[in-house]
Amino acid sequence: MSPSFFEIVQLSNGDYALRRIDDDSEPLVKVSFSSEAREMMEDREMSVAKAMIAAGIEAAGSVTQDIDWDDDELDVSDAQPAYTLH
């Protein structure tokens, strides 16, 4: 299998996306900012989007290392909310 190369691009609607360079299919990740957030960032949206995508890739890598793929039963008490509060 040949290695994939990725790029971060700005979409026509102003969102940012991570996609494979050699593939025109749906992006792997999209980042959207509200108008208020765009004003606060003062034209640094691309830098913030890059940082967010890099952090997501790093987090996904560490999460997959922590998963016990042989555990057939999930403990419902360990369930996390579907949002992250910072």
Q: What is the bridge-based pairing of β-strands 6-10 and 29-31?
A: unpaired
Q: What pLDDT is attached to residue 86?
A: 46
Q: What is the mean pLDDT of the chain?
A: 79
Q: What pLDDT is attached to residue 22?
A: 85
- At 72, the pLDDT band (50, 70, 90 cuts) reads low
